Chain A
């Protein structure tokens, strides 16, 4: 167990390092910085701009800045937002809470819908639920979340349903965006499990009906789905960025887009790091669940 956990943690740490370096490099490669526009203004003294850049450490070489930022990040300091002139952690905390709330609710709803429909579809392959969901999945897959969100906002505005606030609109755009992929995977996993030789063997022992599904097929299909838990949450998080901006939900999304536009450097880097941390945490949780579920991982011989 200790060895398993240590390996998974090392894996997570490596992922964090790689993603943070990647985000940092991308932000660095983008032309200009927060003060780029100021510099073209003839009324502003070039020396004053340089003083400002130095104040936020932007004059130092990128590698040195990355090192200093990571060293601080380990202690929980993610740098300072130039636009808001306040620590990034303080800026991020309330917004991250709201984003997690949105992504979490959408995640639970999309899994519930996907699992329920996948079960119904897999138990009668070719039946009307199976065919209906296949159509629905194909239809939803071609509609981007952004378009769905925009349509929902339009409908809400036209019909003037004031109680449909930003949150429910955002959920209504996110969950149907995430569910189709989950449904497809869940159905495939269930069908594969239903065709496994041990299910045929169970049938030969006179085990059938609900018990066969509950005791044999569903637990066998759960394994491949667990690995999707973490990944699907990360997918939802990236979806929240644009959906929040369209539906006006004050999460990390609007802040992040704004930071990219104005090149608020440390905000961009911090959001990348937090997103990577959440992905790593999701993967770790999935690994631990697999460890608990599968004796072949827990007790290899």
Chain B
């Protein structure tokens, strides 16, 4: 079970929405203290739902089975007050859209103060907010009293990082935190996230393999609500063993002649239309007879790849 280094554990997690759409379909993994794990997959594969489940933020109508644990305690059974205490100082959430994460009418310092209230010594909230802003390279004098609409996307995302880090979380869920930023701002933000987050476990969610190669120690690849491959970032991204991982990596590289980007034929299954057997089989270039009949073994424990090719 939970060893000393384990920070959060997801076991056989399934999340289904009332419209029949299954977003997460049996995912198991463990986050260790201080590690940077990457979660790779296309949009719609269930990455965000997985992160929301970890933070206990799923909408009420979502049907959840399986377990999510943080520091050895289940998240599912907690009351709203316990969850509130856990969010922020236990689990921080870095959202994709910088402008959407901030109240339009409150200045930045005030919003950071609200986020650290009750999590730092009473009376020290303002100082904590200013320290947090300075830590991400935003002068508290200049930006503390600024409103969100006055900042650039990159600055605002750094401010969001300041807000998250000010509460000193043990686990940071970063959901495509740089999708709205240009390359320069992306590097700046991730440098700060990995640097400032030293000691905190970070789950870095992205659809870009190159970003994870650079920043994550371990990568999990998600397809149609399941993990299909997991392992050290260098191993997964340099020698992919699952055909989906290989296809995803090929998409990022321009083809030799013509310069057109490769793409994966077909589309990912949605909700109830999940095929029998391996979900990727209909699009898989190396499909075998067994792929359409039985599910390959799930990625968990020692198993790194969920593919019949790998079993042989």
Contact = CB atoms under 8 A, between A and B. Distances in A.
Q: Do A and B bind each other?
A: yes
Interface of A: 196-198, 200-209, 211, 215-216, 219-220, 223, 293-296, 299-301
A216 B84 contact: no
A197 B97 contact: yes
Interface stretch (B15-23, B87-95, B188-196, B263-271): B87-95
A300 B104 CA distance: 12
A295 B163 CA distance: 20
B114 A202 contact: yes
B161 interface: no
Contacts of A293: 105
Contacts of B92: 204-205
B129 interface: no
B97 A216 contact: no
B114 A201 contact: no
What's the dominant secondary structure at chain A's contact region?
Answer: helix
B147 A197 contact: no
Contacts of B87: 203-206
B80 A206 contact: no
A268 to B, nearest CB: 44
Contact of B115 (A206, A223, A296, A300): A206
A211 B80 CA distance: 14
Contacts of B102: 198, 201
A294 B150 CA distance: 13
Given A205-B115, A211-B114, A301 B149 contact: yes
Contacts of B149: 295-296, 300-301
A236 to B, nearest CB: 28
Interface of B: 55, 57, 80, 84-89, 92-93, 95, 97, 100-107, 114-115, 117, 119, 147, 149-150, 163-164, 167
Nearest to A296: B149
A208 B149 CA distance: 24
A206 B101 contact: no
Given A295-B147, A299-B150, A202 B57 contact: no
B106 to A, nearest CB: 7
Nearest to A209: B84
A203 B57 contact: yes
B85 A198 contact: no
Nearest to A223: B105
Contacts of A197: 95, 97, 100-101
A215 B105 CA distance: 10
A34 B88 CA distance: 75
Contacts of A296: 104, 147, 149
Contacts of B115: 202, 205-207
A263 to B, nearest CB: 51
Among A205, A211, A215, A216, the one with the most B-chain Cβ atoms within 10 Å of its Cβ is A205
A215 B117 CA distance: 13
B104 A198 contact: yes
Contact of B103 (A203, A206, A216, A299): A216
B84 A201 contact: no
A201 B104 contact: no
A205 B86 CA distance: 9
B105 A200 contact: no
A220 B55 contact: no
A220 B97 contact: no
B147 A204 contact: no
Nearest to B89: A206
